[in-house]
Structure 1
Amino acid sequence: MDLRAIQAAAVANKVAKGLNLTDVELEFCLLMAEIGEAFMARRRGKPDYDLELADILLFTVGLAEMTGVDLQDAVDRKMRINANRTYRRNDRGVPIKVTTPPAPRT
């Protein structure tokens, strides 16, 4: 299943269950809660860590749909940008972005 199909299926599930489809700010808060749950599951070595990561993706694609973002297109563009970025390491060894190419649209 590609990202567009995941986005459509996630929203269809929200519609079927009567979940939030309009309150973007609430959805961001719920996404943050899911990130916290994933963090705790990972930290505690729980076997459902993978499902918490899946929740993060599902809330993210839901937000994309709610705000009119084609997440597949955005991810493709961002991957091209990241592939063309260059970094240098500072004196502590931390990678610092040197260049940011423009975001090409296809």
Structure 2
Amino acid sequence: MTKTMKETTPKYDVKIHSIHPEGTVRANASVNIHGDFAVRGVKIMEGTKGLFVSMPSYKSGNEYKDICFPCTKEAKAEFDKAVIGAYQQTLEQGQKTAYLQEASSPQQEQGQPVMGGM
């Protein structure tokens, strides 16, 4: 049996729902895998070694257990790369938007119209 492109190359559609500039939880996300499977409740966390992805979990006694998770080290690395990449892209877009808004502020203060990009 030969693997199709869909089976060999996972396609992750990551949506960043909220960003938190302070604290250990940096963002909340959902991930759609191949358009076939959705994972809600994914968190981007700030740890002592940098950012990492936390899967949805439940508490059992004194420990947390993931509800769903990639089954191989390679799949976990690819999943994490997609989620953290989407988070970083969202941050960059936010910085660009803030920069453009800041750059247009002096024009607004002087009473000059600002051209919109819609």
**Pair in the same fold by TM > 0.5:** no
Instruction: Select the structure that is richer in helix.
Output: 1
Instruction: Select the structure that is richer in strand.
Output: 2
Length-normalised TM-score, structure 2: 0.26
Length-normalised TM-score, structure 1: 0.29
